[in-house]
Chain A
Amino acid sequence: MPDAVLAAAPSRPRLSLDQQVMSWGLWLALAFLLAFLALPLGTLLLRAFETPEGGFAGLANFRTYATTPALLVAAWNSVWTAALSAVIVVPLAFGYAYALTRACIPARPLFRAVMMLPLLAPSLLPALALIYLFGNQGMLRGLLMGGSIYGPAGIVAAQVFYCFPAAALILAVALSTADARLYEAAAALRASRARIFLTVTLPGARYGLVSAFVVVFTLVVTDFGIPKVIGGQFPVLATDVYKQVVGLQDFNMGAVVGIVLLVPAVAAFLLDRWASRQRSATMSGRAVPLRPAPRAARDRPLLALCLVVAAVLVGIVGVAAWGSLIRFWPYNLSLTLDNYGFSRFDAAGWQAVWLSVRMAGLAAVLGTAIIFVVAYVLERGPQKGQLPGLGRFAATVPLAVPGLVLGLAYVLFFNHPANPLGVLYGTLAILVLNSIVHFYTVGHLTAVTAIRQLDPEFESVGASMRVPVWVTFGRVTVPMCLPAILEIAIYLFVTAMTTVSAVIFLYGPDTKPASVAMLHMDEAGQASAAAAMGVVILGITTAAKLAQLVLGALLGRATQAWRR
């Protein structure tokens, strides 16, 4: 061996190419989140403190807000309709989820699929269906006994339909992670069924219940489509933002209302994070999964509940679909496809549909790539300093930002004369970017969950064999995570197809998405055409979901060899 040992030059800490690539990735991720999330929201915040002339207004705008009774009424309306919707939908969803996870009922996959139906159409669709049934020309109007569907009743009813899948999904997850040994222990101690339910089942699901309540509340407060269509003269926060910005062109007051809208959403977001932290602490890794045994006294009522709920879900969509085929509701019930000739009702016509498909497709492809790579870099990149933590926090923020607020923030930020990114305004690109950011968090969490399931040493093994990290990423990480990647892509596609609130401020004359066209047709009194547009959107998203199933099965078969 050489004698040069002692002469060896001391080495300094330095980054390998892998680490450099990872930290570049981290910087790019942060730059993306800064440009398309933090800066727009910052602009929104600033505008709330500006006078219309651009000077500093201090709290004047907020004072005006607080002293305008109409605006305060809207805030209160938002809160109570949201709370009422949550109180109705959470117990229903709990029963449904309980039947799916803790009872032996037939056709569980079918019930699960039906449960997702409301997610596949814009929220306007149930509102339209309710108008068909209970509106001024509704078939079942008599059932209301003189009451009106336009207003809080319609809003709550439509919201219950629209929010049902979110609540049921959360509760199904909460109820599916039960430890069978707790039930065995309780039964061995001769506890009655009711006592077991109260002492084991409910406490086990309590954070799920909190989450479901909070999520429904936020969804209702921040939803724009339903109150716009069925709210009548009943003001809520979401429609107020729209009115201030589109109707009165008062961007500063719009920003103020947007911030007010942000408050319950952020509070709900924090509460939900607290609940999910508690939940993860209650499940031990060595739990034995619970497998329910058939029991008629429990299964039959639950099956009945599922059938009723599923029938209502399918029925409401069915009414909208039927309405879209009716020549002139309710006087001429003959069937026609005329309502699908969209160019008769809206200048954009079918172009709106193709634009939506292009926008959703681009959001799915680009968004999945961005979300997955960013999640990978945040999880597996260098963990030194504050940056990765900051990135992780930023990735969860979009969940707390209502679409309307994000859309308004984009308008204010990208439309600012001094912004070099202003060229994006009114283009397809801004719609795509806005959709990606708006729905970022759910995709991010899915990606993180998938990446965390991989052995943490994969990159180390690669490095020890001098294989660059991007090769390991391409050969191992991405193939292993394909199901999650597919899920993210379809989620982005479906939500981008159905969203109204995020894009309502952002579309340009040549870039009107189908969901906005649907809203405009309804505004113009063309309810049937709006329903038809909703059905077209529903058809496309359903096709995407089916494609996910088929692709997932194909992937499963292709990768069966290495999945146990």
Chain B
Amino acid sequence: MGRPLRRQVRAAQLTPRVTAATPGIAAAALAAAPRREDAYLRVEEVGKQFGTFVALHRVSLSVQAGEFVTFLGPSGCGKTTLLRGIAGLDPPTTGRILQEGRDITHLPPSERDFGIVFQSYALFPNLTVNANVGYGLRGAAWPRARARERVAELLGVVGLSDQGEKYPSQLSGGQQQRVALARALANEPGLLLLDEPLSALDAIVRQHLRQEIRSLQQRLGVTTIMVTHDQEEAMGVSDRIVVMSRGRIEQIGTPAEIYARPASPFVAGFIGHSSHFEAVVDSPAGMLVAGGARLPAEAARPLLDGARVACFIRPEHLRLAPPDAAPPGALKARVTGGEFLGPSCRVSLEAGALRLLAAVVPAELAALGALPGAEVAATLPPEHLMVFAEDA
């Protein structure tokens, strides 16, 4: 049991970066991050082609020891292809993959060091939970007694000590998921791969289990890569997120980074909610013209006059005021609809040609009288406008 302990230490050292929430520290972490040599796993220029279809375009990234990295993207973005490449289930067509400095690009899965949990769990239905977890504990290294101890230990870790004699079909979805996790960890792999591990569960179990996976991962210090299309899940558990789209990496960063400073229009639109509109850079520097309105935006300062840009703004950053108390520079907007979401309300607005979303706490909404048809004054804070030059 020496290896997991060692990782535990490493994980502890990583914690400050993990919790980095303020942009400053996150940026420092990014700068300090992947020094090539000390990465646990390196993916270099990895590409994958199925016939004429390119599933992955020369993707590069590295994962530190003990880190929890999530591949996030819509279906068909190549995230599962990349994971299966790392697992050796579908080796890449170009590039190479190094684990602890060893080139594993073309090694068969059985010669690599990883455990995997599939979306379907792929538990063996005809074997008991004990036999499932102990499936890989065979050969000279695992005498029966030791294998039995290890299975008991793992079931204890995932909280299923009393379920060992049952068959998978007798367990709930969440329990099956934990068995799959225990089975993947049985051989003490250096790398844990999770392929959409929670997507088969209902919402409440998911939320609970993902925190459990995270705390287990931190306790064992095992380097983990998870694939998901659920951004909330990715944000909730990851040290870093790799946002992917159409076989390319859009951005790699901590959850706070990719939310606050998306690197591309895709990330801005995909992560969290945001209103999107087209604009043109105007003078003086830092001024945009969108749908007839002039908007100051800090992010537009370095851009050339006349450049076409895509703008995004998050609903929670939009500030609303009654029309008679409009702050200077506010846009006149008409309320077109409202959704009650519990802790907040999402209000849809039309300001000239701009369609905007604003998040408002219910009490404030009542004070504003922002019912459909009402007029409000909307302010788009210049520091929160996310601006991307359109490539053309």
Residues of A in contact with B (beta carbons under 8 Å apart): 1-6, 8-19, 455, 457-458, 460-468, 471, 475-476, 479-480, 559, 561-564
Contacts and interface: CB of A to CB of B under 8 A. Distances in A.
Given A2-B101, A5-B101, A564-B169, A460 B109 contact: yes
B289 to A, nearest CB: 50
B106 A11 contact: yes
A16 B87 contact: no
Interface in B133-167: 135-136, 138, 167
B126 A15 contact: no
Contacts of A4: 101
A13 B126 CA distance: 34
A436 to B, nearest CB: 28
A475 B127 CA distance: 8
A468 B118 CA distance: 19
B106 A460 contact: no
A457 B120 contact: yes
B127 to A, nearest CB: 7
B168 interface: yes
Contacts of A14: 106, 108
A186 to B, nearest CB: 34
B105 to A, nearest CB: 5
Nearest to B99: A8
Contacts of B87: 460, 464
Contacts of A18: 108, 110
B103 A8 contact: yes
Contacts of A10: 96, 103, 105
Contacts of A19: 108
Among A9, A11, A458, A476, the most chain B Cβ lie within 10 Å of the Cβ of A11
Contacts of A2: 101
B116 A464 contact: yes
B316 interface: no
Contact of A16 (B101, B108, B120, B126): B108
Given A460-B89, A464-B184, A479-B126, A1 B101 contact: yes
A436 B104 CA distance: 43
A11 B105 contact: yes
B151 to A, nearest CB: 13
Given A10-B96, A11-B103, A562 B168 contact: yes
Contact of A1 (B89, B100, B112, B124): B100
17 contacts: A1-B100, A2-B101, A6-B37, A8-B102, A10-B105, A13-B91, A13-B106, A16-B107, A457-B118, A457-B120, A458-B124, A462-B136, A465-B115, A467-B138, A471-B138, A479-B126, A562-B169
Nearest to B116: A464
A562 B126 contact: yes
Among A19, A467, A468, A480, the most chain B Cβ lie within 10 Å of the Cβ of A467
Contacts of B91: 13
A455 B103 contact: no
B186 interface: yes
> Which 5 residue pairs are nearest across A and B when measured between Cβ atoms?
A465-B136, A16-B108, A463-B109, A457-B122, A5-B101
Interface of B is mostly: loop
Among B120, B122, B167, B168, the most chain A Cβ lie within 10 Å of the Cβ of B122
Contacts of B115: 464-465
B122 A460 contact: yes
Contact of B126 (A12, A466, A467, A559): A559
A562 B129 CA distance: 11
Among B102, B125, B127, the most chain A Cβ lie within 10 Å of the Cβ of B125
Nearest to B122: A457
Nearest to B100: A1
A561 B122 contact: no
Given A11-B107, A457-B122, A464 B114 contact: yes
B185 to A, nearest CB: 11
A455 B107 contact: no
A18 B108 CA distance: 9
B187 interface: yes
A1 B126 contact: no
A562 B125 contact: yes
Contacts of A464: 87, 109-110, 112, 114-116, 136, 184, 189
A465 B182 CA distance: 12
Contacts of A461: 116, 118, 122, 124, 135, 183
B98 interface: yes
Contacts of B106: 11-14
Nearest to B65: A1
Nearest to A463: B109
A302 to B, nearest CB: 37
B111 interface: yes
Contacts of A463: 88-89, 108-110
B38 interface: yes
A426 B348 CA distance: 86
Among A3, A9, A464, A561, the most chain B Cβ lie within 10 Å of the Cβ of A464
Contacts of A457: 118, 120, 122
Contacts of A1: 37-38, 65, 100-101
B109 A16 contact: yes
